[in-house]
């Protein structure tokens, strides 16, 4: 058994695309809720996004008024998660790509701000991709965001 690089994937996305979606449909629209819940992990990512949404007096999510910096933060969360998962998808073998579900994975940053990506075992307990290790790197320039994922895993060495 040997540990090797098994795959590499990257993805580039213009954050403006998410801004267009959120502004066009309304940040609290059912459309945006459906879209974000398809992309973001329910336990680790969506709560962070939802906490930025405009709230009514009693705390319920309401209205579409949002300041530009909060809107930008919402778009960054979505674009970062989207590009990271697209990059991870591209690092997989075709067999594993078939079973890949965006919302089963989540991106998180450690105390130094370094991004990581991993599977949410509470929703995908038996996924055999969890044996692999995924390394994530993200870069921004203005509205452009690029994510790269390196997949590392065990391979059987042939008998000599």
Part of the chain binding other proteins (CB under 8 A), chosen from 31-39, 109-117, 124-132, 134-142? 31-39
Q: Give whichever of 39 and 74 is closer to other proteins, judged by the CB atom.
A: 39
Paired tokens of 100? 């890949």
CA 16/CA 76 separation, integer angstroms: 10
Host H or E run for residue 34? helix 30-39
User: The tokens of 56 are what?
Assistant: 């009514």
Strand partners, 145: 13, 140
Q: How far is the CB of 156 from other proteins (least distance, A)?
A: 29
43 binds other proteins (CB under 8 A): no
Residue 35 interacts with other proteins (CB under 8 A): yes or no = yes
29 counts as binding other proteins under rule CB under 8 A: yes
108 is an interface residue for other proteins by CB under 8 A: no
Q: Which among 84, 13, 41, 145 has a CA at the least distance from the CA of 49?
A: 41
Residues that bind other proteins (CB under 8 A): 13, 17, 21, 25-26, 29-31, 34-35, 38-39, 82, 86, 98, 101-103
């Amino acid at each position: 058994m040997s540990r090797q690089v098994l795959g590499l994937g990257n993805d580039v996305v213009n954050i403006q695309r998410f801004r267009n979606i959120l502004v066009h449909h309304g940040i609290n629209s059912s459309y945006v809720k459906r879209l974000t819940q398809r992309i973001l992990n329910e336990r680790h990512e969506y709560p962070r996004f939802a906490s930025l949404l405009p709230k009514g007096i009693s705390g319920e999510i309401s209205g579409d008024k949002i300041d530009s910096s909060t809107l930008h933060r919402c778009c960054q969360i979505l674009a970062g998660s989207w590009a990271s998962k697209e990059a991870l998808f591209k690092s997989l073998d075709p067999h594993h790509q078939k079973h890949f579900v965006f919302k089963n994975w989540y991106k998180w940053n450690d105390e130094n701000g370094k991004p990581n990506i991993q599977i949410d075992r509470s929703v995908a307990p038996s996924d055999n991709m969890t044996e692999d290790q995924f390394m994530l790197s993200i870069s921004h320039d203005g509205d452009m965001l690029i994510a790269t994922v390196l997949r590392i895993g065990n391979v059987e060495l042939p008998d000599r």
